[in-house]
Structure 1
Amino acid sequence: MKKVLYFGTLMMLLVVSVSFAQKKNKDGWISLFDGKSLAGWKVGENASTFSIDNGTIMVAGPRAHIFYDGKVGDHNFKNFEFKAQVMTTPGSNSGIYFHTQYQEGGWPSKGYEVQVNNSHTDWRRTGSLYSIQDVKDVFVEDNVWYTEHIIVQGKHITIKINDKTVVDYVEPDEVAAKVKDPGRKISSGTFALQGHDPKSKVYYKDIMVKPLGE
């Protein structure tokens, strides 16, 4: 009986070990989205804005935000690389928040937003560090998959679109003293995807993070 229990425990550990290995690539990237469900993600108001469509997170509906709430990094990241495959549709608008935290409704009050918008009426285009260092040029087309890559190391924020650096920003020390928007600063926190408005439809897949050292 002891041998059977030992063998069963060993097999269980092996399965867990293999499962973890599948999530974490050799180069340190860890998946945050299983391609099949919204497991590990949490949404407040207008939850129907987010759904699974052919292995992607489809964002389509009223304003809403879905926050990563899973076990990776205890959903709290400070220094990291984040990347996702994104596809916009004509006239759509979305965003990727980092260093944020879950809130039931409204626009996230904590963290920075990285813009996802190639043809919406808002002139701030894909890759903008929203209202901080904005991008006016359009680097990718609607209906085409592209990579949005965010790197945060200390107070240095780099945003790349298909390996092209479009934002290179260092947060000044005095930002911490601002009273107007105290949550919009480097700190730590989770990621969130934005549903902007009912006319915006955007797709996300291959959502990954690589935690970096202090």
Structure 2
Amino acid sequence: MIRVSVIFATVLVLFGCSGAKKAGGGKGWISLFDGKSFDGWKFSEKPGTFKIENGSIMVAGPRSHLYYDGPVMNHDFKNFEVKAQVMTKAGSNSGFYFHTQFQERGFPDKGFEVQVNNSHTDWKRTASLYDIVDVREVYVKDDEWFTLYIKVDGKNVTTKINDKTVVEWTEPAGATAPKGHPGRVISSGTFALQGHDPKSVAYFKDIMVRPLP
């Protein structure tokens, strides 16, 4: 009877990840984007900002956000590693949100933005934890694919570009959200890609997550 229960529980876990596939990124990594469709993703105000091009998500158009709304962890992640292949075009501004939730309009109030910006007029560059730990240094060039990596473990947040650590930050005890970002505190939530403005063009592919205990 115990063996049957274990088998049944295992089936339930596997079923809960249906609609997502194990990724080639190593043990425990799960793909969130199939490279062909927006299955498991939900658009906010301007869905035309996002298109699929050559297996990647092309971001180009008016302000909008694309939220992961799929079955993996019921799109509610607390502790995790997430990574994506990213490429920016000249002058573009985008972002990768975590611990956020779907919002019909505007920039997400809840969660944190990891900046994607190598040459925009905004000086806060790629892998900055936006308005928390802002980085001026440019680590990668436009028109080149790079790996953006984010890890959240308890109150600790790490961002990397191509395996180089850019930000290591621990939310202090009793922290409150910064001005202008009412939900920017460690909690849990989903991921989102940012369409910042019509002149900003960026690409995302191979979006993978590894949930942590």
Is the pair's TM-score, using the shorter chain for normalization, greater than 0.5? yes
What does 1:1-214 correspond to in 2, within 5 Å? 23-25=21-23, 27-176=27-176, 181-213=181-213
Residue 205 of structure 1, CA deviation: 0.3
3-state SS, counterpart of residue 23 of structure 1: coil
Q: Distance in 2 between matches of 1:161 and 1:209?
A: 16
- The aligned amino acid for 1:175 is A
- Structure with bigger helix share is 1
Whether contact under 8 Å (2:178, 2:184) holds in the other structure is no
Q: After TM superposition, give the deviation of residue 179 of structure 1 in Å.
A: 8.0
CA offset at residue 181 of structure 1?
3.9
Report how far residue 24 of structure 1 moved: 1.9
Q: Which has the larger radius of gyration?
A: 1
Equivalent-residue separation in structure 2 for 1:83 and 1:178 (angstroms): 26
Instruction: Identify if the C-alpha distance between structure 1 residues 66 and 178 changes in structure 2 by more than 3 Å, giving closer, same or farther.
Output: closer
Instruction: Please give the per-residue CA displacement for 1:4-27, whole angstroms capped at 9, x wherever unaligned.
Output: xxxxxxxxx9xx88x96x812451
AA paired with 2:207? I
Paired-residue identity, %: 64
The alpha-carbon distance between structure 1 residues 103 and 23, as it changes in their structure 2 partners (threshold 3 A), is: same
Q: Provide TM-score, normalisation by structure 2.
A: 0.88
Evaluate the alpha carbon distance shift between residue 190 and residue 177 of structure 1 in structure 2; reply closer, same or farther with a 3 A threshold. closer
Count of residues in correspondence between the two structures: 198
Measure the CA separation in 2 of the matches of 1:134 and 1:52.
30
Q: Quick one: structure 1 residues 39 and 147, their matched pair in 2 at CA, closer, same or farther if it must change by over 3 Å?
A: same
**Cα deviation digits, residues 157-213 of structure 1 (max 9, x gap):** 000000000000000112148786441000000000000000000000000000000
CA RMSD, aligned part only? Answer: 2.0
Q: Which residue identity is paired with 1:207?
A: I
Letter in 1 for 2:134: D
Distance 1:179 1:129 in 2: 15
Change (3 A) 1:76 1:198: same
Measured in 2, the distance between the counterparts of 1:164 and 1:193 equals: 22
What runs of 5+ residues in structure 2 fail to find an aligned partner?
1-10
Supply the AA of the counterpart residue of 1:191: F
Name the TM-score, length of structure 1 as normaliser: 0.88
Mark the runs of 5 or more structure 1 residues left unpaired by the alignment.
1-12
